[in-house]
Structure 1
Amino acid sequence: MADLKTAAPATAAPSRWGDDPFQTPKRRFTSGGLVALAVKVILLGIIDALTVFGVWVLIAKGDWVAAIALALVVIGVNYIYLRAGLLPGKYLTPGLIFLAIFQIFVIIYTGYIAFTNAGDAHNSTKEDAVAQIIRTSQERVPDSPTYTVEVYKQADQFGLLVAEPGGGTSFGTNEQPLQDASAAPSGWEQLNLNQVIRFQDEVLALNVPVSDDLNDGTLRTSDGRTAFVFTSALEYDEAADTFTDTETGVVYSDDGEGNFRAENGETLTPGWRVWIGWENFANVFTNEQIRDPLLRVTIWTFAFAALSTLACFVLGMFVAIVLNHPTLRGRKIYRILVILPYAFPAYLTGLVWAGMLNEEFGFINEVLLGGAQIPWLGEPWLARFSVIFVNMWLGYGYMFLVCTGALQSLPDDIVEAGKVDGASAWRIFRSIKLPLLFVAVAPLLIATFAYNFNNFGVIYMLTRGNPRFTDTTLDVGATDIMITMVYKVAFGGGGGRDLGLASALSILIFIVVTIVAVVSFRRTKALEDIH
């Protein structure tokens, strides 16, 4: 017995080199292990180098919070990937990073913009606004001396090497004032005449400050060879934080709302982005030009999402039932044909249907209806019917696939029991198949409703939201849903871009969709009893 006990293998303590207690460092570092380790170290080294550069840039801009946050994140990444035993973290880290960049950051930034006056006239900092006001109001000095210049390019930046009339040379760009230099900095390439012509717009846009004080003027060139001094009639007083028109004497002061405003109400453009609190949200509910069209658009959005989802489901389920009959020949071919609309890109299909529904030369009016002049996309209710029909065409294939799978998974014994009890085909479908079908497709119907609620592509490609409402200054129409309205407010249409208002509307859409989804999922719990 003693010999047997002696011969029995003892349970060794877990080794720090792995689960195998007999594994040694020499056996662990095989050629494959060394390659993996080398790749990991190289990738982490690249990430660390980019991080050091990014932190240096952020510190140079004075953004210490972002610099510290970036450094801490990368330090955490290094710790996770260099320390043994954190295998789950190695897989979760990339996903969490991308989630933070593409989801969390976007949501937070959208929320921030919603509380600002960001838009066409207020889309940068106050310093940028001051510089832009001076540049846009500049005129050539009548007695300006002629400067001989050479145009240089580095990446997407352009600069001027200037030979001053009194002797000496200097170099500058739009962001960097003229500084004494005998030649262009290293890395800058001189443009010949053909290249100057090629980059004519960029060369004409060059406004090189003469000094650190923008009031001293800038140099501009029209031919890439000579330049002249341009100065602004608006003189900025940094101490008083005011602009003064040297010709009229009008003073423009900071009004606290992101503008330089005179006593008569005139403002200089552009302004700058400032915090305005709940003003954008208040405008949504108090400004008639926004509130009334938004109310109509919201009602139509719910109707469009609900009717599109219902139509896709009904048609998809009907086709699935028909093609699921066991005695039907050629079912595979029919199923392939049915899912073709779902397989084509929605944007392309929307454009094709827009051409087919054209009132003057569309296929439907000219061929199918014998030359009729039916305004499918020009009359509000016909346009709404058209977008629902096209969306049904795009989406019923998806519902067909889902319903086909659900029907084939239904237990045959329940259906046979209904037939034995004398139930008709309609009764079996209504009382047996449909409830069991809802158990499988109810979550997908909710997801489809949420997708249609924000179905930008079919609306924008088919109608652009038209026909337009005539009682509002916003570029909003009868077929616009909330997401297309947000797009038009954010990126132009009528009154220009208003990113702050568009962000506020986006938050409202998010809240509405979230409420609808939560309520719908709670209601679907009742179907679990059926299952």
Structure 2
Amino acid sequence: MAHDDAVAVKEPQAPKESHARRWSGLGGGFIAKLLLMALVNALALTIIMSAWNAEAWAILTLSIVLIVAADIIYFAKRTLPLKYLYPGLVFLAIFQLFTLAYTGYVAFTNYGTGHAGSQQQAVEATLIQNERRVDGTPTVPLSIVRDGDTLGFAVTQDGIVSVGTEDDVLEPVGGAVVDANGRATEVPGWEVVSQNELFSDQDLQQAVIDLRVPVSDEAEDGSMRTRDGSSGAVYQSSIEWDDEAQTFTDKETGTVYYADQETGNFVADDGSRLPTGWSVTVGFDNFVRAVTDQNLAGPLLKVTLWTFAFAVLTVLTSFGLGLLFALIYNDDRIRGRKWMRTVFILPYAFPAFMSALLWRGMLNREFGIINDWFFFGADINWLGDPLLAKLAILWVNLWLSYPYWFLVCTGALQALPSETMEASRMDGAGRWRQFRSITLPLLMVSTAPLAISSFAFNFNNFTIIYMLTEGGPPFPGTSGLGSTDILISAIYNISGVSGGSADYGLASALSIIVFIVVGIISAIAFRQTRKLEEI
């Protein structure tokens, strides 16, 4: 009996999860992750192969590092936090850090119009630019042929049809059929492009005009070109490249151009240079040129001063007007405050670029309603006079900006402690004393950081400048800058995005300067605003 009493009673155990159910739970998620990472690796492999073909070693190395890190993070068990952080870090590195780093790199080069590629590309471009039709060569019937994405010429000469492409010289082919004009209509292994298709496709037309098919293995023999897609002739370059001596020689004048590795140009002894060069590192030359070039330094100084004035005046005027309306419509005695507030924030609801274009039309010298309605048809050149154009920009930007500060100040006023205001009234403080000693200091605690960010925004407010005046009226000279340009619009003009000669190196250098200036001012201002917290 004692033995029976000592027998331990086993506790019931939970039923074990079946292997199939465990596999369906864990394995399903693993398979989904495996498929997703397979897609990511396939995309990375495509980028790596493209970078290898383009000899972009930096992109190739970065792609390998990122994909290897991704595989380690998402297949390891102890990297749970990085599984969530890694995508954000990758996008930060690609779209922010890489952009900043590349801008910094370009700032120390002469990259721009005439210096957009490597030296080898500059050599090829120069040879092409100096091509001339060989005197005495006949015009021969020609057809455009295609094999997939590869275009070529089928040239008929002395009854023989020869086919060649940009990479392959003209070689005779058998079995071709020609029409009464001698043009090939059928070429074995090739699709003959019809004239109707050629005339209806502008991209194809440009590709055909740009196509050059070498007539032999010797580059000096020239290449076959066409202007109309139905006939061709042999063209040769009037300038000769010596790869060993790194020189160009003009066949007509005998002038020799040497490759200057410091400036990225082909320069002759008399100082003349060929129009096409290549990109090289120039150190701090772009930064020095911004302050020493007589055609650039003066306009840039005026642009810089106006940029600071524009940013400061915009913040002060819009903040002041917004605060004034906030104080007025925060008074309980005013009826219909909600409707009036809605009316006053309407400019904030319209897109800035549309509002700028609208004001541009209203300020038009001849047809604008501002002159017709408010100045009795006076001929006031609002956007053509330097001073009036600046006043117009300040006015339009005030109209666009004050609703923002109206909303901010209204919210800040409603958040002020009523006990403090009541105590000041009981102590005999008037409205002006309350505003100066209590309301404004407390408002600045919450609005000062926003004012700093507003300054930084208006320092780079490209939209209002470009849409309203496009930076004009222009400064006298050839700088390409205007009286209402701010630094960001000046950089836009210098970069050549809007047309004309591009100087990406100088534009990048100025971008770095703007970044440093805004960063320093913002850091100092934020540091000063900490003192307001002691109030």
TM-score normalised by structure 2 residue count? 0.87
Corresponding position of 1:192: 194
Corresponding position of 2:182: none
Q: CA 1:421 to 1:204, structure 2 compared with 1: closer, same or farther past 3 Å?
A: same
Superposed counterparts of 1:433-472, under 5 Å: 433-470=439-476, 472=477
Corresponding position of 2:146: 152
**For the Cα contact (< 8 Å) 2:492–2:498, is it kept in 1?**
no
Superposed counterparts of 1:490-505, under 5 Å: 490-491=495-496, 496-505=501-510
- Consecutive unaligned residues of structure 1, counting only runs of 5 or more, are 10-21
Deviation digits for residues 240-260 of structure 1 (CA, Å, limit 9, x no counterpart): 111111222221111222111
Give distance in 1, aligned partners of 2:33 and 2:137.
60
Deviation digits for residues 366-388 of structure 1 (CA, Å, limit 9, x no counterpart): 11221111221122211111101
Give distance in 1, aligned partners of 2:150 and 2:320.
60
Give distance in 2, aligned partners of 1:435 and 1:94.
42
Give distance in 2, aligned partners of 1:211 and 1:34.
62
Deviation digits for residues 390-446 of structure 1 (CA, Å, limit 9, x no counterpart): 111111111111111111111111111111111112211111111111000110000
Q: 1:109 aligns with which of 102, 106, 109?
A: 102
Give distance in 1, aligned partners of 2:28 and 2:224.
56
Question: Secondary structure, in 3 states, of the residue corresponding to 2:345?
Answer: helix
Give distance in 2, aligned partners of 1:358 and 1:264.
50
Q: 2:154 aligns with which of 162, 165, 184?
A: 162
Number of aligned positions between the proteins = 511
**For the Cα contact (< 8 Å) 1:341–1:393, is it kept in 2?**
yes
Displacement after TM superposition at 1:76 (Å): 0.9
**For the Cα contact (< 8 Å) 2:416–2:442, is it kept in 1?**
yes
Give distance in 2, aligned partners of 1:93 and 1:23.
34
Does residue 369 (structure 1) correspond to residue 375 (structure 2)? The answer is yes
**For the Cα contact (< 8 Å) 2:143–2:193, is it kept in 1?**
no
**For the Cα contact (< 8 Å) 1:147–1:227, is it kept in 2?**
yes
**For the Cα contact (< 8 Å) 2:471–2:482, is it kept in 1?**
yes
Does residue 219 (structure 1) correspond to residue 224 (structure 2)? The answer is yes
Displacement after TM superposition at 1:482 (Å): 0.8
Deviation digits for residues 56-109 of structure 1 (CA, Å, limit 9, x no counterpart): 232334444432321111111122223345333222222222211221111111
Give distance in 2, aligned partners of 1:63 and 1:498.
23
Paired letter, 1:152: R
Displacement after TM superposition at 1:363 (Å): 0.9
Corresponding position of 2:179: none
Corresponding position of 1:341: 347
Q: Which moved more, 1:325-334 or 1:264-273?
A: 325-334
Corresponding position of 2:408: 402
Displacement after TM superposition at 1:485 (Å): 0.9
Give distance in 2, aligned partners of 1:150 and 1:336.
65
Displacement after TM superposition at 1:492 (Å): 6.4
**For the Cα contact (< 8 Å) 2:143–2:192, is it kept in 1?**
no
**For the Cα contact (< 8 Å) 1:475–1:494, is it kept in 2?**
no
Corresponding position of 2:46: 53
Question: Secondary structure, in 3 states, of the residue corresponding to 1:525?
Answer: helix
Superposed counterparts of 1:358-437, under 5 Å: 358-437=364-443
- Consecutive unaligned residues of structure 2, counting only runs of 5 or more, are 1-5, 177-185
Displacement after TM superposition at 1:211 (Å): 5.4
Paired letter, 2:330: N
Give distance in 2, aligned partners of 1:392 and 1:8.
79
Superposed counterparts of 1:66-81, under 5 Å: 66-81=59-74
Superposed counterparts of 1:79-98, under 5 Å: 79-98=72-91
Identity of aligned residues (%): 43
Corresponding position of 1:40: 33
Give distance in 2, aligned partners of 1:29 and 1:64.
43
Give distance in 2, aligned partners of 1:404 and 1:369.
35
Q: Which moved more, 1:139-148 or 1:207-216?
A: 207-216
Paired letter, 2:397: N
Give distance in 2, aligned partners of 1:153 and 1:312.
63
Give distance in 2, aligned partners of 1:187 and 1:117.
46
Q: Which moved more, 1:83-92 or 1:387-396?
A: 83-92
Does residue 290 (structure 1) correspond to residue 267 (structure 2)? The answer is no
Question: Secondary structure, in 3 states, of the residue corresponding to 1:526?
Answer: helix
Displacement after TM superposition at 1:493 (Å): 7.8
Displacement after TM superposition at 1:149 (Å): 2.7
TM-score normalised by structure 1 residue count? 0.88
Question: Secondary structure, in 3 states, of the residue corresponding to 1:326?
Answer: coil
Give distance in 2, aligned partners of 1:52 and 1:271.
34
Question: Secondary structure, in 3 states, of the residue corresponding to 1:469?
Answer: coil
Give distance in 1, aligned partners of 2:532 and 2:250.
72
Give distance in 2, aligned partners of 1:137 and 1:179.
22
Structure label with greater radius of gyration: 2
**For the Cα contact (< 8 Å) 2:241–2:249, is it kept in 1?**
yes
Superposed counterparts of 1:318-357, under 5 Å: 318-357=324-363
Give distance in 1, aligned partners of 2:195 and 2:492.
42
Q: CA 1:369 to 1:28, structure 2 compared with 1: closer, same or farther past 3 Å?
A: farther
Displacement after TM superposition at 1:218 (Å): 2.3
Does residue 99 (structure 1) correspond to residue 92 (structure 2)? The answer is yes
Paired letter, 2:193: L
Question: Secondary structure, in 3 states, of the residue corresponding to 2:382?
Answer: coil
RMSD: 3.1
Give distance in 1, aligned partners of 2:146 and 2:236.
23
**For the Cα contact (< 8 Å) 1:474–1:494, is it kept in 2?**
no
